[in-house]
Structure 1
Amino acid sequence: MGGEMIMDHTVRKQYLRLRGQLLQQRYGVPADQISESPDIFKLQSSSYLTAGHGEVVPTKQAEASRAIVGGNTIAENYAFVGVHHIFDQHTDAVTMIKFGNNDRSRLCCASLDGLVSVCDVASSPPKVLFILHGHEKGVTVKVSFLNSILHAGNSSGMVAVLNISTGIYPRGGSSKVGGKILSLTFDAAGRLLWCGNDKGTIVSFLFELGSGRLSKCRRISVSEGCGITCLSFRAWISREARDPSVLVNCAANTICLFRVRDKEGSLVLRRKFIIHHQKYLVRSTFCPIMSFRQGACVVTGSEDSCVYFLDIEREGRPAIVNKLQGHASPVLGVTFNYDESLLATSDCHGLVIVWKREKR
């Protein structure tokens, strides 16, 4: 048994070394910027990282946003010149990754191996800060924008609310959705919550901030029997006008953009895009900076091992503006840091690649 474990570890190190060489040839990743698995049994921490999405409010006076974005096209803005680092601390699929809120360097990774890791991508070299133990199965979590409320969904189809400051589940703060909950998101105010399950259904809830009570509102069927693997809310799609929207990954080979129609969370389909997605927990995200460029971009994983950048406002032309190839298995998680200087992507083999964008 011990010999088999040593052999598996040796094979994995050889695979990672070969993969690094291939990526170095294609993207120019330095040979010393590849992290091997640390001795996770020596890492102990009771801390955990929480993060939420920031909001961008476009105005003509927002000179800082204009300076960050520049005057380039969508394709030029999302041109990547190389791989910043490769992390390999997980032994199973990394299903969710997230940079900290307003943080360029801290990256949280959740894996089906039951571990949650936190990495520092800005250190020299980038490193794994600590690994959290204790989980046995995958859990979907979402933290409110104010970092005060945690919504959790599980494989039993139950959604629940937890007050982070007190650790208390408030009375009336749970509800049965049905199926297995795969994804969660809520609006900027933290009053509307959407849950997606493995049956192809999205359910909206009203959340009372004072009492913590959840009230079920609307049920939206996207594609019967096809899992809703990711939900993302954005109040502003572009610089033109406020347009609350929800981005949806559905395991029917589609990624959909819905408009939020009313205060009860009803959704109306705006656009649908075709990607490779039928089996895995593929995720997507709105790009953080959108206020002063033509078009609006999202990035999504795919089961063809590629990362796609889509212009969701491009009419009459192909929506794909860029594609990254570097993974050897389906790409699941995608996340930008807040200034879009780095993009992290994860796959079914447990690899996390941090990509660096071309300097403007």
Structure 2
Amino acid sequence: MAAVWQQILAQDARYNAYRLPGSPQFRTQYIRRRSQLLRENAKIDHDPIIRKQYLKVRGQILGQRYGTSLSEQGSVVYMYLDTYSSQRSRSASKCSSRLTLDREEGDFRGHRRYHSSGSGKFSLPSPTEDGLVPTRAAEASRAMVGDKTLDENYAFAGMHHIFDQHSQAVMAVKFANDDKARLACCSLDGTLSVCQVIPEPATVLCVLKGHTSGVTDFSWSLSNDMIVSCSLDGTVRLWQVPTGTCLRVVGDCDGAEIMSCAFQPVNNNMIVTGNKKGFVHVLNFSTGKYVKGGSSKASGSILTTTFESGGKTLWIGDENMTTYKFTQESCQNNMLPFLDTKTIIEKDGNLQFEVYRKPTHTDQYLAFDSHHPLEHKLAVIKTLFHRADNVITSDEAKTEEHRHLRVALAKCGYQNWTFNKALKPSDQSKKTLKCRPLTNRNKVNITIPYVQGVSEKLRRIFQNFNIATNFKPHSTLRQKLVHPKDRPEKGIKANVIYKLKCEEPNCNNVYIGETSRPLKERYKEHCRKSANRYSSAIYHHLKHNQGHSFNLESTDILDREERWFERGIREAIYERMYNPALNRKGGLRGCVYSFAFDIGTGKLSRAQRLVVCEGHPITCISARSWMSREARDPSLLINCGANALCLYSYPTRKPHPGSPFNRLQEYASRVSGVEGSLQLKRKFPIKQRNLRIRSGFCPLMSFRQGACVVSGSEDMSVYFFDVERTNKPVVNKLQGHSAPVIDVSFNYDESLLASADSEGMVIVWKREQRS
């Protein structure tokens, strides 16, 4: 009777758009759970007539509950209008059917079609401010878990079991989805292990072997029958958990070490990977090919990837390391030029090497009559002839290169005696050195400007006192000649670090920033209000201080740097030098990127780049939708290597209040889940500087007053934090590891907690029994 349960699921899916319009994540979770229950019940033999009757009755109940037929497909705006009509009708009449359960649980939960009677002004209800966690008035939520405090709820009775099957650091540990018995972990020893923790005794079910280097991350599939893993060997592997076999192996398209991976929560055929070169890719494991348009670039090695529960937004965190750009030359006529070397492929396959000069090469070297010490000029001859002797393989080409160098240097004023002096055989130089006294142990080195006829005499004098003297050019043409080009305007300069100072005589406020665009474009952004993100501190300064002004012409350009990361370093240095009052936080980056994920095609489009931590890697991101009546804003839990665990909220973007159209836009943004900027809610102290410490949300936090997060730490402890406490947020601290704790994971009912450390030990902790 598999067809009947599929029809029931299809019926639920059609009505899913009408459930909780303001919380799309809950709708996805509901459909998943319904699918799981229906599949399990389909295995049990029941009367087919009863199942068909259930299908018919459920369709009638859903139709009465939501007041619409299966064929009706309303848009977001119509849904909002119907919801508003439903709220007005409920306020006018307090008699309601028992089929409209949970109608009063939110502003947009009920959906029923009503015809408006009469005319009048159409006014929309104002949006409600959502809190972060359930409040004290949330009696229904607290009743689901009891009246215990957070300290009592997260009290542990001791260790349930200790696993030590791995010989190196365990990088990740995760319980299976909606399964409190199965646990998996990956290690730098190149293996993964799947364990069963209950019933006792706990055992290792299987060890997944196949990676040739350390495994950095893995992820469970939605049905828990597959595991995807990534490794430092540059491959992604798909494992079948029941049999422990590897189904597919795909190499990284950039040939780099893969640092993180994750299943797409809605479509498990799609897998997202992040590699050490800073590229994020979408892989279709059904075809074994990377999705076209499913790649993007971050500024450093991608250490963590995670989806929000709906699967439409992808978050990644980078290590922010320097990236390098390489050029590529093509092989033509069996010759491959690279830098100053030309490789020649002969017919028999042998390789010959020659010195390569581009067609634009001018053979201009340091002129002999220039104001430089003689040793610098002799060094030019030694360097060029040394290259010819060591790069060129054939005698004919070597002789031709020597002749070419003598002609080119003769044009620069070099005489024959300079070649004889510079190319003196090395054995004669060694004999001369052996005759000198060995007094180099305590010799002092100094560098003085070179003045012809004077510096040489000073060297001879200093040599008697065991002082080695080096010369540097004192007078050059660059210093003597004026610049032939006109100075460019400040407004068109790009890739600069700049300083803006308020023109008011009694105001000493300064702003320091950097930009890759022309300075005048960045200056205009500073002076106007931003509609899509936070406005500049300069805009707020001008808004609240009448008569104050900034001038582009008086802007000081402090430095110039083409590369983004190095420019951030210099910005940070200048911020510490000047201590500007208008800067929020700048300089070195530690970035979180958000991408819009197209579930159908797997394409990525970057939404935001958010600077979270200065100069420290983002090692873990956990996304969670806080599903309760009192807490609707999604949240991010971020580990950064700055001894801090940060909790951010990313509320839905709210347009400016005003016209009914803007209010409709606001509701549409809530339904579609468009995220705004991150807002820091809490910062918790942990020890993290060098390792990839991970953290996570406690599964049942949305049903309690307050909420907890749990994190590993380099001080060998597991920390529990209450996100609502400003003073002493630590709820509990577990000590038992002998090495830094890298990752932690709860099972779905919080009865067990697993923690893994850098020496390969995994401890499973058990909660105290609730009364």
Q: Which residue of 2 aligns with 1:344?
A: 754
Query: 2 CA distance for matches of 1:68 and 1:114?
Result: 42
Q: How far 1:101 moved relative to its partner?
A: 0.4
TM-score, normalization by structure 1: 0.79
Query: 2 CA distance for matches of 1:55 and 1:314?
Result: 29
Q: How far 1:130 moved relative to its partner?
A: 1.1
| Distance change (3 Å), C-alpha of 1:164 and 1:144 | same
2:708·2:721 contact (CA, 8 Å) conserved in 1? yes
Q: Which residue of 2 aligns with 1:144?
A: 264
> Relative to structure 2, which stretch is displaced further, 138-147 or 298-307?
138-147
Q: Which residue of 1 aligns with 2:763?
A: 353
Q: Which residue of 2 aligns with 1:160?
A: 281
Q: Deviations over 1:125-155 (max 9, x none)?
A: 2111111122224331222333613211122
2:195·2:202 contact (CA, 8 Å) conserved in 1? yes
Matched, 1:308 2:308: no
2:625·2:635 contact (CA, 8 Å) conserved in 1? yes
Query: 2 CA distance for matches of 1:266 and 1:112?
Result: 36
Choose which of 689, 702, 710 in structure 2 pairs with 1:278.
689
Q: Given residue 181 of structure 2, which amino acid in structure 1 is its aligned partner?
A: S
Query: 1 CA distance for matches of 2:150 and 2:737?
Result: 23
| Distance change (3 Å), C-alpha of 1:234 and 1:286 | same
Q: Deviations over 1:69-117 (max 9, x none)?
A: 2211011000000100000011111011100000011111011111111
Matched, 1:201 2:201: no
1:217·1:264 contact (CA, 8 Å) conserved in 2? no
Q: Given residue 188 of structure 1, which amino acid in structure 2 is its aligned partner?
A: S
> Relative to structure 2, which stretch is displaced further, 78-87 or 67-76?
67-76
Identity over aligned residues, as a percent? 55
**SS at 2:291 equivalent:** coil
Choose which of 168, 178, 182 in structure 2 pairs with 1:106.
182
Query: 2 CA distance for matches of 1:329 and 1:321?
Result: 22
Gaps of 5+ in 1: 1-52
Query: 1 CA distance for matches of 2:745 and 2:294?
Result: 29
| Structure with greater strand percent | 1
Q: Which residue of 2 aligns with 1:16?
A: none
**SS at 1:291 equivalent:** helix
Q: Which residue of 1 aligns with 2:470?
A: none
Q: Deviations over 1:226-260 (max 9, x none)?
A: 11111000110765220111100000001111111
Q: How far 1:178 moved relative to its partner?
A: 2.5
Choose which of 190, 195, 213 in structure 1 pairs with 2:311.
190
Q: Deviations over 1:183-221 (max 9, x none)?
A: 111111111111101122111111111111011121111
How large is the Cα RMSD of the aligned pairs?
2.5
Q: Which residue of 2 aligns with 1:268?
A: 679
Query: 2 CA distance for matches of 1:279 and 1:265?
Result: 31
Larger radius of gyration: 2
Matched, 1:234 2:598: no
Q: Which residue of 2 aligns with 1:31?
A: none
TM-score, normalization by structure 2: 0.38
2:695·2:709 contact (CA, 8 Å) conserved in 1? yes
Choose which of 245, 250, 271 in structure 1 pairs with 2:640.
250
Q: How far 1:292 moved relative to its partner?
A: 2.6
Q: Which residue of 2 aligns with 1:23?
A: none
Query: 1 CA distance for matches of 2:284 and 2:737?
Result: 38
**SS at 2:702 equivalent:** coil
Query: 2 CA distance for matches of 1:198 and 1:122?
Result: 37
| Distance change (3 Å), C-alpha of 1:109 and 1:101 | same
Matched, 1:327 2:737: yes
| Distance change (3 Å), C-alpha of 1:98 and 1:275 | same
Query: 1 CA distance for matches of 2:277 and 2:746?
Result: 31
Q: Which residue of 2 aligns with 1:181?
A: 302
**SS at 2:608 equivalent:** strand
| Distance change (3 Å), C-alpha of 1:63 and 1:100 | farther
**SS at 2:734 equivalent:** strand
Query: 2 CA distance for matches of 1:321 and 1:290?
Result: 13
**SS at 1:243 equivalent:** coil
Q: Given residue 71 of structure 1, which amino acid in structure 2 is its aligned partner?
A: D
Q: Which residue of 1 aligns with 2:698?
A: 287
Q: Given residue 724 of structure 2, which amino acid in structure 1 is its aligned partner?
A: E
**SS at 1:215 equivalent:** strand
Gaps of 5+ in 2: 1-25, 31-101, 106-137, 217-258, 321-589, 654-673
